[in-house]
Amino acid sequence: MRQVTATVISNAEVMPQVHLLWLEAPGMAAAARPGQFVMARCGTGHDPLLRRPLSVHRVDGGQRLALLVGVAGRGTGWLSYRRKGDVVDLLGPLGNGFSIRTAARSLLLVAGGIGVAPLVFLAEEALRSGRAVSLVVGARSASGLYPRSLLPSGASVVEVTEDGSEGLRGMAVDHIDGCVGRAEQVFACGPATMYRSMAGKECLTGEPVQISLETMMGCGLGACYGCATRTRTGMRMVCHDGPVFELDDVIW
């Protein structure tokens, strides 16, 4: 883990209120693994006091790192206004990250909304290692879908929108049944409601499913206990013991 003053290379609004920020972050980019996150200082002084957690969205060449920032409030709003040459103080990479089983050759990735952020990095790594990747991406409507042109080529993509304005209608989880049989490992990132419906799905019973919990957190370092979550093996801190957990290990 390191603290880096990262320089913004580019900032593009890729979906309404969602910004793709590329940053020069040598050292950190080289060390990051899919599913890990950074704590970003979202201001120049001490307000807001707490850093905000953001998944490592992509890396490029060990020097550059991308964040996918959905504007939720003050912190992410501040980040969305950063321009080329601005600096952002980052702490990371933090957390355990996803772990692909050596024997798993075919993966299913399920993304709900901004949950696509860590899964793009995972898809890129998996494809690079010769694995097959199916990616089911869900959003409220067409404008909220991550641009297809930015998705790693080679992944088989299923788009799902709640209102049916693009791709299949419904929630991402409604459309995974056909893909689960072909996958040797399943990964997901999205809201807690998505995980709850996954936990109740018959086709996932007994399947190895890793999820990334995007719980609100204070310090990101395991010191404040703000992100404690209940699991079958006791209370765990999302920042320190996660954010990646086995789906059936979490008590919903």
Ligand X SMILES: Cc1cc2nc3c(=O)[nH]c(=O)nc-3n(C[C@H](O)[C@H](O)[C@H](O)COP(=O)(O)OP(=O)(O)OC[C@H]3O[C@@H](n4cnc5c(N)ncnc54)[C@H](O)[C@@H]3O)c2cc1C
Residue ranges in contact with ligand X by CB under 6 A: 37, 52-55, 68-70, 72-77, 114, 117, 214-217, 243
| Least distance to ligand X, CB of residue 188, Å | 13
Which of 16, 164 has the CB closer to ligand X?
16
Dihedrals φ, ψ of 72, to 5°?
Answer: -115, -30
| Least distance to ligand X, CB of residue 30, Å | 19
Which residue, 190, 139, 136, 137, is CA-closest to 161? 139
CB burial readout 72-91, b (16+ within 10 A) else e: eeebbebbbebeeeeebbbb
Which of 35, 183 has the CB closer to ligand X?
35
Alpha-carbon distance of 232 to 223, in angstroms, equals 22
Which of 69, 209 has the CB closer to ligand X?
69
Residues linked to residue 138 through DSSP beta bridges, in sequence order: 112, 160
Q: Residue 142: count other Cβ atoms within 10 Å of its Cβ.
A: 14
| Least distance to ligand X, CB of residue 252, Å | 16
| Least distance to ligand X, CB of residue 105, Å | 27
Which of 113, 167 has the CB closer to ligand X?
113
